[in-house]
């Protein structure tokens, strides 16, 4: 069967500053919470550090050449807040502005549409010392930062994203295995409310600046949970909690429907976590957006008995080590849920999707011959094609990621890249998936009949 996508469909790749840039102490950049967190022993697998990463701070032109070879139409990257404002507030770093101006100009020169995220998890460390997202002053800190970005880059960036995967802030403040490494759920819940206010105020600021071409949205990942045993009360309750209390519902309800759900408020009330909500907060969060970015990797099935056994056996080591069965077909359900339940009536982009290779012992040739990644992406694109045929307005798809990089607490172990990164020489080497994706872009789709690559 042939899967054809519109000729103007936006094929892209996605990255993030903290994962690829390196240059941690160069060009006037200040430390972020991930710099601090990663340097504390035991926080990152194998003691890996993001100080150099892929060194895209120096090698961004080489990376854009890779994108040109792939034929991608768009590139999703993020600004490092502490490269723009080393202390998070105060003096602007001109070297940081110059770096991103050069990056964006190079993308434009190669006809690659910039999709830029303002915040991809790397809060300036000095702001965390001042309370981070738990301090309501973060709203003014963030909107000041956003104003600097918009004043300097404005219409040069076609697609602006306020926040990538806000759930990471919850994980960092409530669960402890992401930066800043805290374990205070009540504090984390308030942090999320402040983050949503940062988002809303930034959208309001964006509208006041009346850009001619630029559009603004947010990226929320959806790992939708389903009860494995139909009608089983424990499985149903587990899925509801994962979705509505510790997952996407915390964000999509206030952003698109203007309120927190009764289920969420009840949980907070029963656990002494009632939010400090000021008059007008919900209206500020509930801003009309130009597009929605969906990070999709899998659908998950919950079984309460299996979870009890897993917890008894000990922690699995976080979401990178706990590898559930693959259900890429659930993308169809997720996309329809966005339209039907959350009333998302704006264009949708799949802003991240990919598959890691996590076996450290595998040889170089095995890493390059990543047929499993190709098969996974094919399955996702087939589901995406189905949803689009059924009327869901999806305008683009971004592979996570261009090249192997620093994958947060898992360090350099998970390799998501279309290109293999040699972290000693910094060489980028194409995997089989890079050639396959290049052909998909060239043909505006692919044919699965009798194909293995």
Pick the closest to residue 40 from 409, 407, 317 (CA basis). Answer: 409
Pick the closest to residue 172 from 161, 157, 187 (CA basis). Answer: 187
Give counts: helices (H), strands (E), the chain: 18, 14
Structure token digits, residue 299 = 């659908």
Which helix H or strand E contains 296, and what residues bound it? Answer: none
d(CA 99, CA 171): 30
Catalytic residue among 165, 201, 244, 246: 165
d(CA 39, CA 273): 31
Peptide bond into 180 cis (omega under 30): yes
Pick the closest to residue 216 from 192, 200, 194, 232 (CA basis). Answer: 200
Residue 165 a catalytic site member: yes
Pair type for strands 159-164 and 445-447: unpaired
Decide: 43 and 75 in contact? Cβ < 8 Å.
no
Residue 352 a catalytic site member: yes
- Give me the count of residues in the chain: 453
Give, to the nearest 10 degrees, the angle between helix 138-153 and helix 185-208: 40
Q: What is the DSSP string of 313-355?
A: H----STTT--PPP-GGGHHHHHHHHHHTS---S-EEEEE---
d(CA 199, CA 142): 9
Distances (CA, A) of 434 to 355, 371, 439: 13, 11, 9
Q: What is the DSSP string of 415-447?
A: B--SEEE-TTT--EEE-HHHHHHHHHHHHTEEE
- Please name the residues in contact with 177: beta carbons below 8 A apart, sequence gap of 6 or more: 43, 171, 318, 409
Catalytic residue among 21, 201, 244, 352: 352
Decide: 289 and 217 in contact? Cβ < 8 Å.
yes
Structure token digits, residue 8 = 């103007």
- Active-site positions read 165, 352
């Amino acid at each position: 069967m042939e899967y054809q996508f519109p000729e103007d469909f936006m094929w892209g790749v996605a990255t993030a500053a903290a994962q690829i840039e390196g240059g941690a102490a160069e060009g006037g950049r200040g430390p972020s919470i991930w710099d601090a967190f990663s340097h504390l022993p035991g926080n990152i697998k194998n003691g890996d550090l993001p100080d150099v990463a892929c060194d895209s701070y120096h090698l961004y032109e080489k990376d854009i050449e890779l994108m040109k070879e792939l034929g991608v139409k768009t590139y999703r990257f993020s600004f490092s807040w502490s490269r723009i404002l080393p202390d998070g507030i105060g003096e602007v770093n001109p070297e940081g502005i110059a770096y991103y101006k050069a990056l964006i100009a190079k993308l434009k020169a190669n006809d690659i549409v910039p999709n830029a995220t303002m915040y991809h998890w790397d809060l300036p460390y000095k702001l965390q010392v001042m309370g981070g997202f738990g301090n309501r002053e973060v709203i003014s800190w963030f909107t000041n930062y956003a104003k600097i970005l918009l004043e300097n880059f404005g219409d040069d960036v076609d697609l602006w994203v306020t926040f990538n995967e806000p759930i990471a802030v919850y994980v960092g403040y409530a669960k402890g295995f992401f930066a800043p490494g805290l374990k205070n759920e009540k504090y984390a819940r308030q942090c999320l409310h402040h983050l949503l206010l940062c988002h809303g105020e930034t959208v309001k600021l964006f509208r006041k600046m009346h850009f001619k071409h630029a559009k603004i949205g947010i990226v929320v990942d959806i790992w939708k949970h389903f009860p494995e045993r139909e009608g089983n009360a424990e499985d149903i309750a587990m899925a509801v909690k994962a979705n509505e209390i510790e997952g996407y519902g915390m964000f999509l309800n206030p952003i698109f429907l203007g309120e927190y759900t009764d289920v969420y408020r009840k949980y907070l009330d029963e656990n002494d976590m009632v939010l400090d909500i000021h008059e007008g907060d919900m209206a500020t969060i509930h801003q009309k957006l130009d597009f929605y970015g969906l990070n999709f990797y899998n659908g998950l099935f919950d079984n309460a008995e299996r979870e009890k056994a897993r917890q008894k056996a000990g922690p699995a080591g976080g979401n990178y080590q706990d590898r559930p069965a693959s259900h890429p077909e659930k993308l169809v359900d997720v996309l329809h849920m966005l339209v039907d339940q959350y009333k998302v009536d704006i264009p949708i982009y799949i802003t991240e999707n990919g598959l890691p290779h996590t076996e450290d012992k595998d040889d170089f040739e095995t890493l390059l011959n990543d047929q499993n990644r190709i098969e996974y992406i094919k399955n996702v694109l087939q589901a995406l094609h189905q949803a689009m045929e059924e009327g869901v307005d999806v305008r683009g798809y971004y592979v996570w990621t261009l090249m192997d990089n620093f994958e947060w607490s898992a360090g350099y172990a998970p390799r998501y890249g279309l290109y293999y990164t040699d972290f000693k020489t910094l060489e980028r080497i194409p995997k089989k998936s890079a050639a396959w994706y290049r052909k998909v872009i060239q043909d505006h789709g692919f044919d699965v009949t009798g194909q293995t690559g």
